[in-house]
Every structure is written in C-alpha cells, then in structure tokens.
Amino acid sequence: MAARIIDGKTLAAQVKARVRDGVEDCKRQGVEPCLAVLLVGDDPASAVYVRGKARDCEECGIRSLVERLPADTTQEALLVRLAQLAADDSVHGILVQLPLPAHIDERAVIKAIPPEKDVDGFTPVNVGRMMIGETCFLPCTPAGCMEMLDAAGVDPAGKRAVVIGRSNIVGKPAAMLLLARNATVTICHSRTKNLAKICAEADILVAAVGRPKFVTVDMIKPGAAVIDVGINRDENGKLCGDVDFAAAAEKAGCITPVPGGVGLMTRAMLMVNTLQAARNTL
Ligand code: NDP
C-alpha cells in the first residue's frame, strides 16, 4: 500500500495563513512584527535561503530587514551590529544566516543574540529551556517535523522513534522534541553500529544525514512515519532528500517529500517564532 504524502506546501500555507492573522492582530495592537536577517558573505545557497525568508515575511505581513555584509566583515563588526539590533525595540527577531565565513566564531555570534529575539532557537538559553521543557523558541526544522507528524495524525507517545543525525540544529533537538512527546527515542550517527536494523524498528524515522538516498527501503518498518529532513542533490543534480523516496513510499505509512516537505515547514516555523517574539512584547 502506498504511503500518505505529508504535503509541506499545503501545511506551510496553512501555518503562514495563521501567522498572517496573528500579525494583523499584533499590528492592531500597535506592534509591527519585524525580522532582521544578517547575511555575511556571498554563499549562493545562503542567499537563496535569505531571499526565501524575506518572501515569507512579505506573505505574512512581517517587516523584514535583510542586511548583507561583506565576506571580510570582522567578528567584532558583526557583534557590534548584533548589539544594535538587540537594543532596537522595533526588531523582534534576529537571525544570522549560517554558515558564517571561517574567520568568524559561530558560537560567539549566536550567543550575542538575545534569547527573546532568537527566533532560530539556537542560543544556549533557548536550547537549555527546550531540554527542560520550558517555554522557548523551538528550532524551526525540528519544530516543523513535529507539525508534520501532528498533521499526519501520528502521536509519538509510546512509539519507537529513531533520528539519524545528531547536529545541534536538527538531529539533537528533533530527538528532544520527540522525547518530550513521550516517544522512546534512539539517536543514530556515523559511529552507530547496526544502523539499518535500528531504523527498521522505528515507528517514526527522522532522517537528517545529508546524504542522498541514505535511507533505503529495507531500513523502513512497514507503516512507519518517515520524516526526511535532508536536502541534497542526486547524481543528476536534482534536489532530493536522505530517503530513497520512491521505494520508501511503497512501504511507509506516511512520508514527507523533498522538495515540498520539511524545508517549507522550516520556513513557516520561522514566521511562527517571529510572530511570537513580537507578541511577547505586547
Ligand atoms: P550535519 O552534517 O551537521 O549532521 C549530519 C549528521 O548525520 C551527523 O550527526 C552525522 O554523524 C550523521 N551522519 C553522517 N553520515 C552518516 C552515516 N554514514 N551514518 C550515520 N550517520 C551519519 O547536518 P545537518 O544536521 O545540519 O543537516 C542534515 C541534512 O538536513 C542536510 O542534508 C541538510 O541540508 C538538511 N537540512 C535541512 C533543513 C530543512 O529545512 N529541511 C534544515 C537544516 C538542514 P556524526 O555526528 O557522527 O558526524
């Protein structure tokens, strides 16, 4: 039986429509939500992401401030600009597009974002709050994954969940959010033994590896919910995820496509967080 496709496009449109209503409401109360995005250097993929974020803001009625800084911007100069944005009451969310040029210490820069404007959910304060279950800004990609499971009617409670990947922005927080929803969670990574066997036991499988077709059909339990976070190019240069989609879709219960899946929800969740940051100032 073919899997249900969890359509990121439709879902993201629904989330953004809700944000748009919230933004209107915020404006009626005298606050215009505003997201500042800093892009350092001229990495083409980052430029595409930043343009996408500005478009989403426009769609949601959020004011967007995109600042492009040259690749040779010093860390000090970047920190000075961040301090100005941090002090600016008209700016509610601050996002520094990653990756940064090699001469800049990413962690130091992230720490300079005040937690109440950290709409990416990357600062140690927000990460810590998430770990202990306090209200915080959730990182957008894992939050988007959870929305997709909810939309598919998959309740993680009591289920066996396997996350492949342990990065700070995807794998680890995805595992934490699944745990918070009472899944029994296993995190796999490059040193995991018997990875295929572990994955094949998963009721919920989240792939955040960064390798095309890494998850093959034998690694999928019949009826499993498969969330494909990967954004890769296949041998023909075509965009694809970490999962061998065509084969997996014959065996899974539900599955997210790439493109048209988690990526769109990640963008929508940034809008949710930005609206929340603005609401918190009301
Ligand atoms: P990272 O490179 O930071 O992490 C990849 C993880 O995969 C690591 O934990 C690594 O293990 C693990 N891994 C790599 N190779 C293997 C292997 N052979 N077997 C088992 N585990 C392996 O990537 P990100 O987490 O940042 O991103 C993952 C993917 O998701 C990428 O394709 C990225 O483009 C995409 N992405 C998509 C987003 C979206 O909006 N849809 C947002 C962010 C990322 P180890 O730790 O041991 O090295």
Length of the chain: 282
- 266 CB under 6 A from ligand 1? yes
Q: Tell me if 212 is assigned to some domain.
A: yes
Q: Tell me if 163 is assigned to some domain.
A: yes
pLDDT computed for residue 234 by the predictor = 92
Name the residues annotated as catalytic: 53, 97, 120
Residue having the nearest C-alpha atom to atom 4 of ligand 1: 167
Q: What is the pTM of this model?
A: 0.97
Q: Tell me if 41 is assigned to some domain.
A: yes
pLDDT computed for residue 278 by the predictor = 98
**Domain CATH number, residue 213:** 3.40.50.720
- 265 CB under 6 A from ligand 1? no
- 170 CB under 6 A from ligand 1? yes
Of all residues in the chain, the percent with pLDDT exceeding 70 is: 100
Q: Tell me if 128 is assigned to some domain.
A: no
Task: Tell me the C-alpha distance between 45 and 51, whole Å.
Answer: 10
Q: Tell me if 146 is assigned to some domain.
A: yes
Say whether both 154 and 85 belong to one domain.
no
**Domain CATH number, residue 43:** 3.40.50.10860
For the segment 155-212, what is each residue's pLDDT rounded down to a tens digit? 999 999 999 999 999 999 999 999 999 999 999 999 999 999 999 999 999 999 999 9
pLDDT (mean) for 74-87: 98
Q: Domain containing 216: what range?
A: 140-263
Say whether both 107 and 145 belong to one domain.
no
State the closest ligand 1 atom to the C-alpha of 267, by its place in the atom list counted from 1. 40
3-state secondary structure 20-81: HHHHHHHHHCCCCCEEEEEEECCCHHHHHHHHHHHHHHHHHCCEEEEEEECCCCCHHHHHHH
Task: Tell me the C-alpha distance between 218 and 226, whole Å.
Answer: 13
Task: Report residue 254 as tokens.
Answer: 């539900």
Q: Tell me if 84 is assigned to some domain.
A: yes
For the segment 44-56, what is each residue's pLDDT rounded down to a tens digit? 999 999 999 999 9
**Residue position matching structure tokens 């990460």:** 127
3-state secondary structure 178-221: HHHCCCEEEEECCCCCCHHHHHCCCCEEEECCCCCCCECHHHCC
Say whether both 156 and 103 belong to one domain.
no
The number of folded domains in the chain is 2
According to DSSP, the β-strands at 232-233 and 239-240 are antiparallel
pLDDT (mean) for 234-253: 96
